[in-house]
Chain A
Amino acid sequence: MKTTPNYGIMAEFDSASDLVAAARKTHEAGYRKIDAYSPFPVEELAEAIGFHANRVPLVTLIGAITGGLTGYLMQYWMNAVNYPVMVGGKPPHSWPAFIPITFEMTILFGGISAVLGMLALNGLPMPYHPVFNVPRFVMATKDRFFLIVFSTDPKYSPSGTRQFLESLAPRSISEVPS
């Protein structure tokens, strides 16, 4: 039977500081396809693994502008174009009265875009992922910190990468089956 290559090699650490230091060293060593897992957000970690491109703000901005335009144009078209009704002697296109709904729609669309944008860019929902095959990984949502080098990394080699990760003094090392 042909052996399929592993998904990657994972190292386990005790603290956020150790993980950040290890992630920095791994990145400096030239590994690029890496990821780190922590039970709470660690600000320095994204930078340590070389992740900068964050498009959530752009998605939110586009969503908010779309919402605002939708809100205003909807009211304008419905009350001033499609079916103008005179109420209280106000002109059909009474823009000050259209502001509250325009504002609410901006927030609504912006908020939905932020949440769905975050989920989509993160590739969630994803019920199955190879890292869940590592038994110790259940601790990643409690008090342990993990670093993984994916086998797709050009510098990856089963023994070399393992040796390198061992040099970072982790608590344990596991192969992640694909």
Chain B
Amino acid sequence: MADRMDDVELTNSRAPVIEPGYTFGTVTDKISAIVLTRPTSNGWFVGFGLAFLITMMLLFALGYLFLKGIGIWGNNIPVGWAFDITNFVWWIGIGHAGTLISAILLLLRQSWRNSINRFAEAMTLFAVACAGLFPLVHTGRPWLAYWLVPYPNTMQYWPQFRSPLVWDVFAVSTYFTISLMFWFVGLIPDLATLRDRSENRWAQMIYGMLAMGWRGSARHWHRYETMYLLLAGLATPLVLSVHTVVSFDFAIGIVPGWHTTIFPPYFVAGAIYSGFAMVLMLAIPIRKLYGLEDFITDRHLQNSAKVMLATGWIVAYGYGIEAFMGWYSGNRYDSFLLWNRLHGPYAFFYWMLLICNIGIPQVLWIRKLRTNTVGLFLVSLVILVGMWLERFVIIVISLHRDFLTSSWGMYYPTRWDWMTYVGTIGMFLAAMFLFVRILPMISIFEMRTLLPEAEVKPE
């Protein structure tokens, strides 16, 4: 555990991971007070209320969808996948940053992750929940979605395991389950802290039940740490596999622009790119509103910006290879796809995608901008829009003009498409609002390990 000290002491060259002067007690008080003692601000009620209303709009859109069927959307042959799958891939990509921060950075011993992993994991859970909704309602008859699960049935039939769509069911549900467990076991010691610190009988009982009698025994900690490392080790290949499997949904098909081997790595990089953008869009207002600048410091913002810069270039390389292969393959359909992206009816979105994902984020090379919260917030927003456009371009531009001119068509989203998409953003935000109010949004026990006094001096 020597590295945690190095990180704290590197203050002269970089912003610290945690501002000096804190003790175990003050860290605990500061984070738990947000949940236990601080009065809920009016801003919280306004924000949650708005998000809740948008969630209600989602339920309305879904209710009408179940009544009428997916004909209310703009999807039609040849564009059978449109907003729903675009949004699915977008949301699941956003989820990836949470697991990257909590698992991969843990294995790489990047202790700065300790103050952002908790809410990044929560973000993952809610994003995956939003993502899962889309393929479910896209089946058209979501009440039969359980047919995707292999179970003995009177039809005596089984899922067809050579289809990447079935792989997706397993990948996404495994990802959700593992993320949920990772988040929950990470919360157990902090739930015990809340149990012991709350004065309210109900809060004591609820946190107490959730904490399951955690008492911080050395034997328990030892097994806990082993389990946490193993879970991180399992979650690391998992997070890389999930977007890989999502990209298989495309890459296994023969549609021009989908049938490429670069898809898995380029999808995973894009996922992390958009995920970090969402982390910043949440972290910047949260640290400001709750006065947590001492815990989520400029160092965290800078590091996240650097991760975005790096993954952004991997994504740019992916676009480059796609364009290069369109020309180099000599395949007329691939060449046409490239032409259609640059000049076709949806060309505006392709150019916007290049501007949002490759052009504008280059301002992150400027050191000053990486610590300017307003600037970072706006760049993150641009990246999230760009990553959404990327999925839209991949899905709609490829599908709307494939091999036969006679089967070409156009896709236009309807108001129901928009209401469903915007509705999931409301649902995501409503869940985040509830999370910051009722659970510690920063891992208290992991913050304690970062303090200088946590070091055990040799005798």
Contacts and interface: CB of A to CB of B under 8 A. Distances in A.
Interface of A: 15-17, 20-21, 23-24, 35-46, 48-49, 51, 54, 56-57, 60, 64, 74-75, 78-79, 82-83, 85, 87-88, 90, 94, 97-98, 100-101, 103-105, 107-108, 110-112, 114-115, 117-119, 121-122, 124-129, 131-132, 137-143
Interface in B168-207: 170-171, 174, 177-178, 181-182, 185, 189, 192-193, 195-197
Of listed B178, B223, B459, residue having the most chain A CB within 10 A: B223
Nearest to B172: A104
Contact of B231 (A75, A79, A115): A115
Contacts of B28: 39, 142-143
Q: Which of A103, A105, A139 has the most CB of B within 10 A?
A: A103
Contacts of B221: 38, 40-42, 45-46
B41 interface: no
Contact of A54 (B222, B245, B459): B222
A15 B449 contact: no
A138 B163 CA distance: 54
Nearest to B24: A143
B68 to A, nearest CB: 32
A35 B453 CA distance: 22
A67 to B, nearest CB: 10
B1 A43 contact: yes
A138 B32 CA distance: 14
Which of A37, A46, A87, A137 has the most chain B CB within a 10 Å cutoff?
A46
A21 B457 CA distance: 9
Given A75-B161, A142-B28, 18 more contacts: A17-B456, A39-B216, A43-B225, A45-B218, A49-B218, A60-B230, A104-B241, A111-B177, A112-B177, A117-B227, A118-B185, A124-B214, A126-B212, A127-B209, A127-B213, A132-B215, A140-B215, A142-B197
Interface string B212-247: 111111111111111100110011011001000100
A78 to B, nearest CB: 4
Nearest to B213: A126
Contacts of A104: 167, 170-171, 174, 238, 241, 245
B294 interface: no
A37 B454 contact: no
Contacts of A44: 456
A145 to B, nearest CB: 9
Contact of B24 (A82, A114, A142): A142
Contacts of A16: 453-456
B162 A97 contact: yes
B219 A35 contact: yes
A135 B178 CA distance: 36
Nearest to A76: B161
B178 A108 contact: yes
B223 A122 contact: yes
Contacts of B222: 41, 45-46, 51, 54
Contacts of A51: 218-219, 222
Interface stretch (B122-130, B151-159, B414-422): B151-159
Contacts of B230: 56-57, 60, 110, 114
8 contacts: A24-B459, A35-B218, A38-B218, A56-B226, A83-B158, A107-B237, A111-B177, A139-B196
A142 B44 CA distance: 27
B276 interface: no
A57 B456 CA distance: 26
Which of A110, A115, A139 has the largest number of chain B CB atoms within 10 A? A115
B225 A142 contact: no
B219 A94 contact: no
A111 B166 CA distance: 21
A132 B196 CA distance: 10
A107 B197 contact: no
A141 B192 contact: yes
A26 B269 CA distance: 52
Contact of B217 (A35, A43, A117): A35
Contacts of A38: 216, 218, 221
Contacts of A142: 24-25, 28, 193, 196-197
B224 A79 contact: no
Given A20-B456, A35-B218, A83-B156, A98 B161 contact: yes
Centre residue among A20, A94, A104, A132 by max chain B CB count within 10 A: A104
A37 B214 CA distance: 10
Contact of B158 (A56, A78, A88): A78
B7 interface: no
Contact of B218 (A42, A56, A101, A128): A42
Contacts of B159: 78
A139 B223 CA distance: 22
Contacts of A21: 459
Contacts of A140: 196, 215-216
Contacts of A88: 162
Given A16-B454, A124-B213, A129-B213, A100 B158 contact: no
Nearest to B162: A97
A169 to B, nearest CB: 14
A83 B157 contact: yes
Contacts of B171: 100, 104
Nearest to A124: B212
A83 to B, nearest CB: 6
Contacts of A54: 222-223, 226
B445 interface: yes
A98 B257 CA distance: 25
